[in-house]
Structure 1
Amino acid sequence: MICYRCGCRLSEKDFCTGCGADVGLYKRIMFMSNRFYNDGLERAAVRDLSGAMNSLRQSLKFNKNNIDARNLLGLIYFETGEVVEALGQWVISKNLRPNKNIADDYINLLQTNQARLDGFNQALKKYNQSLVYCYQDSKDLAVIQLKKILSVNPKYLRAHQLLSLLYIDAEEWEKAHKELLKCVQIDANNTMTLRYMREVNRMLAPEEGEKNIQKKVTSNGVVRYQSGNETIIQPVKMKENKGVSSLLNLGIGVVIGVAIAACLILPARIQSVKADINAELRTVSEQSDAKTATIDELEQQVTKLTEDNKKLQQELGTYEGTDGTMRASDALMMAADAYLKDNTDIEGIATYMEALETEEQSEDFGKYKTDSFDTLYEDLMTVAGPQLATFYYNRGYDNYRAEDYETAIPDLERAYRYDNTNGEALFYLGNSYRRNNQEDKAKEIYAQVIDNFPGTERASRAETYLAEINNAE
């Protein structure tokens, strides 16, 4: 423990040996904060998350700079599905201690997986929409929304509790009990969960209330039932004719049930099946029409590429002696030929396009380009450009994750060249330059991210990294 005034390490005395400040009350406050933190840690170990939250909040009331307590509180929020609250605690922790703080790893783990973070945000919006449905008495819609939430965030405790409450309201006790068991697995001592569980258990075991009913037979044959404070007397020699009457009632019930099914249920069911079949037929027909149109479009593109390829081959004979352009045309034709033979062989097409890039850097390349060359190149980019962009982005991102930035940089540059709407490729290209100690290139790329994709998460993070580079200089 260090002195709050001078930063000197404190001894067992009630004053600071460095500056002489009275630290008796300060020590007691720190001890209380650590005691509540230890209590919260013990409760979290046995999954008493509600109790752990209360203890950790008390710890932070005594010492808001207790980094361990704040990080643990964020983990407990995250475990109960409260991702926004967890991020809030970790951001505060990182601001209090910027270096050597595990909260930084927690934040990066969420922010690097943008799809998962968006899923958590959508889950929170859907939860709020579920509450609106409940206020509007649209409980079926609320149940559907809550199921979608739990498919994305299965540990969202409040969603489980609200879903169980809707099941209780609908008197679906088994489903409510199943959801409450999931709540107990997440937080073993949550007060709301235990209150719901007690009500469900009471409804699932009604036979316990019948145990107090006592039956007595007196000497004169009179049967008395004692149920609580009430006494029920059955007449002497009363017999229940259960045999014939039960069979007769059963037969009548079967006949009535069959009649109802034949008159009401069966026609409606037949109509529903017909409607489903018609809907499926319409869907299949629409899909078939879409596929036919796609096939026709692809055939037209293949025909155009074939014609462009033939024209370019005819013009090749007029450029003998221009070795660079000949090789560039060969590379472009080989790429077009590879696409015509197998349009899924993106890696082979990428190999020929890389060879074309090498030839484009020669000085004589621009003097011998033809209109047919440009037409073939544009047509090939129209049909294969998006697939090439995806191929280079995936490969560049894998190398970036493997910290092979030298290899990742050219792949991410090609990914953005073939698809200039791919902000992720441009952002990770800037990160690769920054981590490869090429700050000038990183600043240039981050500026492009900010200009081309304003108002996005990528632009915000690019501004942060750009500011860090400028401050370091």
Structure 2
Amino acid sequence: MKCPKCNQEIGKQTICNFCKIDINLYKRIKQISKKMYNQGLEQAQYRDLSGAIESLQRSLFFDKRNIQARNLLGLVYYEVGQIGLALKHWVLSSNFQKENNEALTYIQTIQNDKKTLERKNEAIKKYNQALQSLQQKSEDIAYIQLKSVVGLHPQFVEAHTLLALCSIMNHEPERALESIEKVLSIDANHPLALRYYQYLQPNKIRPAIIEKSNIKNQTPKRQYSRQLYQQSKQKNRYSWNAFSSIGLFITGAICMLAVVYILIIPNKVNQLKHEISQLQQKVEQEQQMTNQKIADYQNQVDQLQKENSDLKQVNQTLETEQRRLDETQKVQQITLLLQQNKIEEAAPLIYALNDSWLSTEQQQMRQKWIQDIYPKAAKTFYDQGIRAYNQGRNDATQYEKALYLFEQSLAYAKDQYFSDDALYFTGVIHEIGQDLQKAIEVYERLLEEYPSTNQKYNAQKRLNRLKQS
């Protein structure tokens, strides 16, 4: 007899001297694994795929090298749309047994049908997107995505189940029942689909759940049926009263809350953390951009201030040159007027000249004009004023002209022999015009500035009369 593990000759011993295993215990474990495999095989034949998965997983728990159990588990996963898990078990199986292994055929078949594989991979991607949409509470979008998933992969049980949940959340029980029927046609004892069915149809007979202990007593026809009605006289019938309905409803609600707590809330928290991190990065970027803009604006302001200062300096220089040019033009105009002997026109221009904008030569010329032209201009204005004053006896408007001419005469010369007369007649004109206060001021000024004037008597007489009135 050989050891089933190390393949060494052990005779009739119960413990191998080479690998030290208990031969009887080893055989019992192998037998349990085979028994669970047979149970899973029978469940798979009657479309109890959820029960088959559980039995086959237990079989592999006792013997991970059970090639038949692992290959069958891969087939069951493939049937319910879990291609990734199916390939996982087939690859493990092919590693344990590299020859005469059906798993190699399964893998090769999938690899050769690239279009189908791509379509199912696309379905899985969209299924994950639908999960994200549900986590974001976008049931309508998730429903559309799941419809696309089941169109690409009709055997995808989890997609049909999630589609039923979306329909329930969208208050569409008829669509939910269609999805549940599809799930139960693939996996007759899918527990979540049965809960949804009982939640939607609490007052109707739900599909029969096949008990593992009664599998051998069930006929294939009854195993495939999901619409067996409850028999009142049947020994193993199920009694679904109001309390059972409430219990199933609570169970379904708990499952939904579990889905929300396990899938939605953690992802939502992670999503919020990610959004906060992105917002913080965005704030930092905006702050950097703002600081850069402030620096750029400050540079622009500094540049503009410098340009403004330069422009002010240029403008000041231009104004200086313009004023000098204006004064030079005045000097030229004065020279021309003097050549034409128009003293009364030249005198105001000489008076308006600004020494600040004149050259030294022009300043000297202006001083000479003041000495020579001002007395002549004063005499000219005085003579014109006397004529206007005399005409005022017949035309009162001439007094205003005379007043202006006398004031012009005094503006150009106050030390001429006629200056006191010009001031006296100014006071007389104010008195005639009834500006008595102004007349008093002029007479007092005359007596003060010209104490030896020949108009002293007349001025004093008029002043006394005005003060007494």
TM-score tier after normalising by the smaller chain length: 0.3 to 0.5
Instruction: Calculate the TM-score normalised by the size of structure 1.
Output: 0.41
Q: Highest CA radius of gyration, 1 or 2?
A: 2
